[in-house]
């Protein structure tokens, strides 16, 4: 078909983008979409347990069973009527971080080290930066979908204070996922051996999950601990998710939370794209 | 013949006792770990983080729990649970992921079995190595518990062998299961078993949270036996049940070892 | 050293059972170099693994170094050196540690193991790579390391399953030379190979295996004498005029049959066996036939194999 076209009107038959010389990022992401869709369709089955079942187990064990031993005192639970209502939005935000980080660690490293998918992508008109943006975009979509399903599942258990709570909380969780996806992406591009992941998971991801207010009010960490916890991006995600869920938003704090997450995501996007550019150049 | 090969006189190939053969596998693993000391050190932090987060952070929302007739503060209640759970998690990591890698990807044991070292030595060597690592984490964790003032009884000294016993039982059993795995996809099944055992084995709350038959089921699971055993020892509330737990875990580990040995034979010596 | 009577190996059970080795007899004497020759799937590796005491015997008798592999496995393996067909190096250890740790599995003391490792690295020319990761070696280097590893315990009996596959010609000749020296030191060698030249150079005696049975046995020269003529004339004819699908060599086979003792038709050439190859060529030309290429050479084990099995060795 293309050859026939070339014979008649060469210029008109050349694909539009090649003619333009440069692809727009939106067009590049659109072109990579079939790849990422195929990959997610092929692998979703293998991640059902860690993506959906594991957090449900956490909610039941901590929220329901352990929560049964905890007094339902809003004054000690940042305004939550029950421990379950307190922990669920925090856990989902923490889970957003973990999913994002898991999707941008080994999978990214493997794409330039082992199966070399990136190499084949940049051998086309797509640029390195666009490759990074597209991958991050699809991680973001996946994290958002995972959190949305989760928010739906817990809806019947009286954890939302207002009709708009789940939607707003999902926004907070999705933003949290994006921020951490970009950070981890940039890190993955800059390490030389995948052994470095073990250390960062144990020293950064895991402590963040445990101490950023998902399981208990950060006030319980003492004055210093509380300040430190509030400096972490995950606390901002957890707090935003929780205040949305409990409908206890205060404009000042909410704006701060959103601002911090957006700033991290923005910086992270630069850190990620420049990381991949450096990696692909070497 | 040796006259024609003078150099051979220098090299003595000695018959190995099975204990020596076991330690050779440990030596091999220790060498590979030299470059991964960061991973080794940080592994110890996991239970400590849990203890500080759940035990202390969440603990402030909870008063005390009754355990074998004693009132136990929440953090002291959770700490032995974390001791047992970390032995359990470490055993699974070693015996599922690392063992699978060596067995199926690296095909390490194919070459080992071409030497005088046998399948039983391989099984024992891997378990002993796992316990050396897990045991040092457990010992360090007990020191942390002591420093935080959670230990008031000499029985607690026995919590270290108890943690080793838990590690042994789960290492051997997990290795046995891993011999049937064919791809990394199978590890999703490990998570499916690991997470519920970790969360529902009375690690974070008393078994009284379960009612009726459910409680019976929980009391029969291996990690529950390990958790109560550790808790009985660190709180000093030792009972007949402690002995039941010990026997339970010993039997489980021994069965696991026998199965691993057999399976390595059928997989590699064909 | 090795004695086998009616040795069998069956994989699987019941309906899906597959007999890879179907009752072979072997006698390998101390100090000799013994070869297994055969096409893919002949059962060479299966036999080697039984001799290495890592694969249980399914039937018949097998004695290695006077011991029974079923009961004395560890004692046999302690005196054996094994270079398996596929490299099984330890990718988590560096090159030198691969040798040191492997030596330790034989109960060799740590200091002896280190000395031995350095000595062997020198031998296979890998001293510079001592600290390298195994994964960073080239295929041929890995092969050399595997061969070095098989020597770590100064074995009495060395089993080499296709040792030179993947080696460059120079490394191959170096290895032949080393194996020759080992043999002179009294080490018994058992080698499988697809290379005729290798078998002819290295082996005192060999068996040709095919489909799990021994097709012939003897020294390379004996085998050639018994199963082939002294020389071979190879004739290659161009494609026939018009009749596309038929092999032109088949068409010509009957015509040249009279000039030699025997004729073999291959897809790409015609082999005429005779004591005097040049005479065959002359006769062929005399008859007015015009092959596009001709070659006269001495008979090799390849011809023996062709004669015995009707197939070429390396397909
Ligand atoms: N573990 C096994 N399970 C089932 N069948 C096997 C096994 N190992 C070998 N076989 C079969 O036994 C036959 C002989 O295999 P073997 O490896 O001994 O051949 P070989 O002579 O070494 O061939 P090659 O020249 O390709 O190395 C083959 O048909 C093979 O498929
Ligand atoms: Mg073979």
CA C21 – CA C209 distance, rounded (Å) = 9
Q: Which residue on chain A is closest to B74 by alpha carbon? A: A69
Closest CA to B224 of B80, B32, B9: B80
Residue A10: per-residue pLDDT:
44
Contact C181, C300 (CB under 8 A): no
Q: Mean pLDDT per 10-residue run, chain C (315 residues)? A: 91 85 91 89 91 89 91 88 89 89 88 92 90 87 91 92 86 86 90 84 88 87 81 77 65 74 79 81 78 81 78 53
Cα radius of gyration rounded to whole Å, chain C: 23
Query: CA C186 to CA C33: how far, in whole Å?
Result: 10
B1 inside domain: no
Ligand 1 atom 31: residue of nearest CA: C41
Q: Which of C74, C104, C106 sits opposite B118 (nearest CB)?
A: C74
The CA distances from residue B169 to B253, C10, C25, in Å, are 4, 36, 47
Asked if the model's pLDDT at residue A282 lies above 80, the reply is no
Examine residue B245 and state whether it is found in any structural domain, yes or no.
yes
B39 lies in some domain: no
**Coil, helix or strand at residue A166:** helix
Residue B238 sits at the vertex; the CA angle it makes with B233 and B244, to the nearest 5 degrees, is 100
Whether the predicted pLDDT of A162 surpasses 50: yes
DSSP helix/strand/coil, A23: coil
- Cα distance between residue B108 and residue B85, in whole Å: 29
Task: Please indicate, yes or no, if residue B10 is contained in any of the structural domains.
Answer: no
DSSP A83-122: HHHHHHHHHHHHHHHHHHHHHTSHHHHHHHHTS-HHHHHH
Phi, psi (5° rounding) for residue C229? -90, 180
Q: C205-210 and C213-218: which strand pairing?
A: antiparallel
Judge whether A206 and B49 are in contact, CB under 8 Å: yes
Of the listed ranges A141-155, A239-253, C187-201, the least confidently predicted one is C187-201
Name the residue range of residue B70's domain. Answer: 17-32+62-268
A76 touches B at CB < 8 Å = yes
* Inter-residue contact A232 to A264 (CB < 8 Å): no
Number of domains in chain B: 1
> Does residue A113 surpass a pLDDT of 90?
no
Question: pLDDT by residue (tens digit) across B172-184?
Answer: 999 999 999 988 7
Asked if the structure places residue A120 within a domain, the reply is yes
B interface with A, Cβ–Cβ < 8 A, is 36, 38-39, 42-43, 45-46, 49-50, 52-54, 56-58, 60-62, 65, 185, 188-189, 191-192, 195-196, 199-200, 204-206, 209-210
Q: What is the mean pLDDT of residues A185-193?
A: 91
Residue among C7, C18, C35 whose CB has most ligand 1 atoms within 8 A, to mutate: C18
Predicted model pTM: 0.81
Strand C231-236, strand C293-298: pairing = antiparallel
Residue of A11 and C9 predicted with greater confidence = C9
Give the nearest ligand 1 atom to C49 CA. Answer: 18
Euclidean distance between CA atoms C313 and C305, whole angstroms: 7
- Distant-in-sequence, close-in-space partners of C56: CB < 8 Å, separation ≥ 6: B269, B270, C50, C69, C70
B112 domain residue, yes or no: yes
User: Where exactly are the structural domains of chain C?
Assistant: 2-225, 229-298
Mutation site, B61, B187, B201, B224, interface A, largest A CB count within 10 A = B61
The strand order across the sheet containing C33-37 reads C80-83, C157-161, C188-193, C33-37, C205-210, C213-218
pLDDT category at A4 given cuts 50, 70, 90 is very low
Q: How confident is the model at residue A21 (pLDDT cuts 50, 70, 90)?
A: low
Least confident residue range of A152-166, A226-240, C126-140, C275-289: C275-289
**In the CATH scheme, what architecture does the domain C229-298 have?**
2-Layer Sandwich (3.30)
φ/ψ of C294, rounded to 5, equals -140, 155
- Which residues in chain C touch residue B24, judged by CB atoms under 8 angstroms apart? 101, 104-105
Helices B74-92 and B222-235: angle between axes, nearest 10 degrees: 140
CATH number of C2-225: 3.40.50.300
Output the CA C102–ligand 1 centroid distance in Å.
26
Query: Residue B65 gets which letter from DSSP?
Result: E
Query: What's the pLDDT at B12?
Result: 65
Note whether residue B38 is domain-resident. no
Q: Got the DSSP string for B34-53?
A: GGGHHHHHHHTHHHHHHIII
Pairing of strands C2-11, C59-64: antiparallel
Question: Does a structural domain hold residue A174?
Answer: yes
Look up the domain containing A243 and give its range.
25-281
- The confidence score (pLDDT) of residue C306 equals 79
CA distance B13 to C156: 12
Per the structure, how many domains does chain A have?
Answer: 1
d(C-alpha A147, C-alpha A170), whole Å: 7
pLDDT tens digit at each of 270 positions of chain B: 333 344 444 566 667 788 888 888 999 988 888 777 777 788 888 889 988 888 888 888 888 888 888 888 998 999 999 999 999 998 998 888 889 988 888 889 999 999 989 888 998 999 999 898 889 899 999 999 999 988 889 999 999 999 999 999 999 999 999 999 988 778 888 989 999 999 999 999 999 889 889 999 999 999 999 999 999 999 988 888 899 999 999 999 999 999 999 999 888 888
């Amino acid at each position: 078909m293309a050859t026939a076209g070339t014979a008649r009107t060469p210029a008109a038959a050349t694909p539009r983008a090649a003619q333009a010389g440069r692809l727009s990022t939106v067009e590049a992401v659109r072109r990579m979409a079939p790849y990422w869709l195929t990959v997610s369709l092929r692998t979703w089955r293998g991640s059902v347990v860690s993506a959906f079942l594991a957090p449900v187990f956490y909610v039941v064990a901590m929220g329901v069973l352990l929560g049964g031993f905890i007094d339902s005192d809003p004054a000690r639970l940042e305004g939550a009527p029950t421990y379950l209502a307190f922990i669920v939005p925090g856990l989902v935000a923490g889970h957003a971080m973990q999913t994002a980080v898991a999707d941008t660690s080994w999978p990214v490293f493997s794409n330039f080290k082992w199966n070399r998918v990136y190499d084949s992508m940049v051998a086309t008109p797509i640029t390195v930066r666009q490759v990074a943006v597209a991958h991050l975009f699809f991680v973001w979509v996946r994290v958002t979908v995972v959190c949305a399903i989760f928010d739906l599942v817990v809806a019947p258990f009286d954890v939302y204070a207002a009709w708009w709570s789940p939607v707003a909380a999902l926004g907070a969780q999705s933003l949290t996922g994006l921020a951490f996806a970009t950070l981890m992406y940039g890190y993955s591009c800059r390490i030389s051996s995948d052994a470095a992941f073990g250390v960062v998971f144990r020293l950064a991801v895991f402590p963040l999950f445990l101490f950023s207010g998902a399981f208990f009010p950060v006030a319980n960490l003492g004055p210093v601990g509380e300040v430190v916890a509030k400096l972490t991006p995950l606390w901002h995600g957890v707090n935003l998710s929780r205040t949305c869920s409990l409908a206890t938003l205060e404009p000042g704090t909410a704006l701060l939370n959103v601002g911090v997450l957006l700033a991290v995501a923005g910086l992270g996007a630069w850190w990620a794209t420049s990381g991949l550019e450096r990696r692909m150049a070497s | 013949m040796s006259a024609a090969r003078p150099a051979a006189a220098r090299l003595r190939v000695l018959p190995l006792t099975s204990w020596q053969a076991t330690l050779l596998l440990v030596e091999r693993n220790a060498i590979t770990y030299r470059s991964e000391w960061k991973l080794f050190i940080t592994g110890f932090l996991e239970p400590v983080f849990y203890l500080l987060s759940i035990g202390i952070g969440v603990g402030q929302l909870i008063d005390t729990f009754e355990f074998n007739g004693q009132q136990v503060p929440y953090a002291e209640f959770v700490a032995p649970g974390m001791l047992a759970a970390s032995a359990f998690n470490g055993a699974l990591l070693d015996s599922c992921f690392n063992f699978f890698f060596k067995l199926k990807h690296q095909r390490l044991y194919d070459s080992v079995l071409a030497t005088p070292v046998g399948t039983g030595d391989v099984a024992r060597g891997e378990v002993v190595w796992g316990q050396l690592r897990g045991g040092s984490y457990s010992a360090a964790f007990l020191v942390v518990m002591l420093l935080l003032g959670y230990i008031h009884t000499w029985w607690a000294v026995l919590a270290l062998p108890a943690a080793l016993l838990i590690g042994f039982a789960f290492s051997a059993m997990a290795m046995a299961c891993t011999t049937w795995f064919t791809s990394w996809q199978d590890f999703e099944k490990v998570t499916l078993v690991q997470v519920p055992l970790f969360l529902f084995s009375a690690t974070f709350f008393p078994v009284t949270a379960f009612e009726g038959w459910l409680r019976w089921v929980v009391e029969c699971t291996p990690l529950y036996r390990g958790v109560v055993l550790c808790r009985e020892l660190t709180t000093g509330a030792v009972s007949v049940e402690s002995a039941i737990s010990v026997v339970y875990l010993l039997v489980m580990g021994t069965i696991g070892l026998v199965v691993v040995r057999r399976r390595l034979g059928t997989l590699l010596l064909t | 050293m090795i004695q086998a009577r009616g040795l069998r190996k069956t994989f699987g059970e019941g309906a899906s059972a597959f007999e890879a080795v179907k009752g072979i007899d072997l006698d390998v004497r101390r100090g000799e170099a013994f070869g297994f020759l055969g096409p893919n799937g002949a059962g060479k590796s299966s036999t080697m693994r039984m001799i290495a005491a890592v694969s249980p015997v399914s039937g018949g008798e097998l004695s290695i170094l006077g011991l029974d592999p079923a009961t004395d496995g560890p004692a046999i393996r302690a005196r054996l050196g094994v270079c398996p067909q596929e490299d099984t190096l330890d990718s988590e250890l560096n090159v030198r540690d691969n040798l040191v740790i492997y030596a330790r599995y034989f109960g060799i003391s740590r200091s002896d193991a280190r000395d031995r490792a350095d000595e062997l690295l020198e031998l296979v020319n890998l001293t510079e790579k001592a600290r390298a990761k195994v994964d960073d070696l080239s295929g041929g280097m890995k092969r050399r390391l595997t061969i070095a590893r098989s020597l770590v315990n100064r074995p009495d009996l060395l089993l080499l399953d296709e040792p030179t596959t993947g080696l460059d010609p120079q490394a191959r000749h170096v290895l032949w030379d080393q194996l020759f020296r080992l043999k002179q030191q009294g080490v018994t060698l058992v080698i499988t190979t697809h290379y005729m030249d290798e078998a002819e150079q290295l082996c005192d005696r060999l068996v040709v295996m095919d489909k799990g049975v021994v097709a012939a046995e003897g020294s390379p020269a004996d085998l050639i004498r018994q199963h082939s003529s002294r020389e071979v004339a190879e004739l290659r004819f161009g494609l026939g005029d018009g009749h596309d699908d038929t092999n032109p060599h088949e068409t010509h086979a009957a015509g040249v049959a009279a000039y030699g003792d025997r004729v073999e038709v291959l897809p790409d050439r015609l082999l005429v066996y005779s004591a005097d190859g040049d005479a065959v060529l002359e006769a062929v030309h005399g008859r007015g036939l015009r092959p596009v290429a001709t070659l006269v050479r001495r008979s090799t084990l390849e011809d023996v194999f062709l004669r015995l099995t009707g197939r070429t060795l390396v397909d």
